[in-house]
C-alpha cells in the first residue's frame, strides 16, 4: 500500500515534470513556406519568451528587401503579442539570387539564439507576347490571342502557339485547355493563349 505522503510526492513530481517544458521552451524562428520563389511573400513567425507584449523583434536575413537594416543587413520587424508570439509577412525581392539564406533574430538588445533557413528559387518571368494568326487557306484562319510566356522567350512562345493553332504539337510540351484558354507547359516553361476561330491542337 502506497502511503499518502509518498503518493502526493509522486504526483507532485509528475506535475513538475510535465510543467517544465512549458517554462523551459526557448525562442523560435520559423518561415513559411521554407522554399519560396524570388518575388513572392513569406511569413516569418515564432515565439520570443522574455520579450514583453508589444516589444519589437528584429528579423535579419540577406533574403529580405533592404528597406530597414541591422548592422548593414536587411531586416524586418515584428511585434510580440500574446504568449510571446510574433509574426510578419515580407516579400522576397524579385532580384534576389537563388540560394539558401539564414534568418536570425534579436529582441530586447540580445540575440534570440536560433536560426531559420529559407531556400529562395529564381523568380518566374512572365511576359505578354501579343497575338498570332494562322491562315489555313484563302477563306479560313485561326489565331492565338493574349499569348503569355513564363520562363520562356516570346519568340518560342509564338512559335509553339502558332504550331498549336495549326493543329500540331511541339515535341517536349504538354497541352491542355481550361475554359477556352490553352495551357502549354514544359518543365518550368509555360505558355498560355486564348484560341481565336477554333485555333487549338488538343
Give the tens place of pLDDT for each residue, 72-98. 999 999 999 999 999 999 999 988 999
As a whole number of angstroms, the distance between CA 80 and CA 89 comes to 14
Q: 25-121 maps to which CATH number?
A: 2.60.40.10
DSSP assigned state of 165: H
The dihedral through the CA atoms of 57, 60, 63, 68 has a sign that is positive
Q: What whole-number percentage of the chain has pLDDT above 70?
A: 86
Bridge partners, 91 (sequence order): 41
User: Strand 174-178 and strand 181-186: pairing?
Assistant: antiparallel
Q: Which sequence spans correspond to the domains of the chain?
A: 25-121, 126-196
As a whole number of angstroms, the distance between CA 67 and CA 32 comes to 21
Average pLDDT per consecutive 10 residues, the chain (202 residues; last block may be shorter): 46 43 73 94 96 96 95 96 96 93 95 97 89 82 91 93 90 90 92 81 70
As a whole number of angstroms, the distance between CA 91 and CA 161 comes to 33
- CA–CA distances in Å: residue 43 to residues 21, 31, 35, 84, 170: 26, 6, 11, 17, 40
Does pTM surpass 0.85? no
Write down the pLDDT at residue 17: 43
Write down the pLDDT at residue 198: 62
Q: Of 59, 63, 132, whose CA–CA distance to 93 is shortest?
A: 63
Amino acid at each position: 500500500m502506497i502511503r499518502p505522503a509518498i503518493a502526493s510526492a509522486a504526483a507532485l513530481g509528475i506535475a513538475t515534470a510535465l510543467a517544465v517544458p512549458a517554462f523551459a521552451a526557448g525562442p523560435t524562428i520559423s518561415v513559411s513556406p521554407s522554399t519560396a520563389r524570388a518575388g513572392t511573400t513569406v511569413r516569418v513567425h515564432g515565439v520570443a519568451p522574455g520579450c514583453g507584449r508589444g516589444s519589437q523583434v528584429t528579423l535579419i536575413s540577406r533574403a529580405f528587401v533592404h528597406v530597414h537594416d541591422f548592422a548593414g543587413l536587411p531586416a524586418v520587424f515584428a511585434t510580440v503579442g500574446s504568449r510571446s508570439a510574433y509574426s510578419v509577412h515580407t516579400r522576397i525581392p524579385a532580384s534576389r539570387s537563388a540560394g539558401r539564406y539564414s534568418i536570425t533574430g534579436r529582441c530586447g538588445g540580445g540575440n534570440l539564439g536560433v536560426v531559420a533557413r529559407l531556400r529562395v528559387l529564381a523568380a518566374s518571368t512572365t511576359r505578354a507576347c501579343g497575338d498570332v494568326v494562322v491562315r489555313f487557306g484563302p477563306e479560313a484562319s485561326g489565331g492565338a490571342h493574349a499569348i503569355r510566356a513564363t520562363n520562356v522567350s516570346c519568340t518560342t512562345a509564338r512559335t509553339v502557339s502558332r504550331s498549336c493553332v495549326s493543329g500540331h504539337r511541339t515535341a517536349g510540351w504538354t497541352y491542355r485547355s481550361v475554359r477556352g484558354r490553352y495551357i502549354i507547359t514544359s518543365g518550368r516553361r509555360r505558355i498560355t493563349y486564348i484560341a481565336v476561330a477554333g485555333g487549338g491542337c488538343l
